[in-house]
Every structure is written in structure tokens, then in C-alpha cells.
């Protein structure tokens, strides 16, 4: 996201503010914002296997191997 002439980083985002704008009931119980990851999809899948609750959202500025590079 851009703020004025400065690009806002994912770590600057406020999970509570994002949650307020979500219409889905299952998404956003937990929102993690990171600068960089290998793949948001892989990270969320690993978190799910580790027992994370349904609805985890992961936002990244960049991913090294994911589809949305």
C-alpha cells in the first residue's frame, strides 16, 4: 500500500484495522504481517499442520518462491 509518496510495508499494517474490513466470518482470526517469506501459501499450510486455527491470514511484502512474486 502507498501512503503519500512512501510505500507502506506489510509490517506497518494494523491487523485489527484489516479485520474490521473483512466480510468473511472465518478469515482474520489471526493476521500475521511479515516483510519477506519463501511462500505465504506454504507458511500458512505449515501453520495449519502445526495446529493454527482456521482463518489465518498472512500478508508479506515479498515472497522468494511463491506464485505472487
* pLDDT tens string 37-69: 999 999 999 999 999 999 999 999 888 987 765
Confidence band, pLDDT 50/70/90 cuts, at residue 5 = low
| 59, 13 Cβ separation under 8 angstroms | yes
| Alpha-carbon gap, residue 33 to 28, rounded angstroms | 12
pLDDT in tens, 8-23: 788 888 888 888 888 8
pTM, entire model: 0.74
Number of residues assigned to the chain: 69
Give the model's pLDDT for residue 9.
83
Amino acid at each position: 500500500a502507498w501512503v503519500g509518496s512512501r510505500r507502506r510495508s506489510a509490517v506497518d499494517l494494523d491487523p485489527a484495522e484489516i479485520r474490521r474490513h473483512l466480510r468473511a466470518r472465518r478469515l482474520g482470526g489471526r493476521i500475521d504481517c511479515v516483510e519477506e517469506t519463501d511462500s505465504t501459501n506454504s507458511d500458512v499450510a505449515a501453520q495449519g499442520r502445526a495446529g493454527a486455527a482456521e482463518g489465518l491470514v498472512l500478508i508479506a511484502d515479498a515472497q522468494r518462491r511463491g506464485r505472487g512474486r
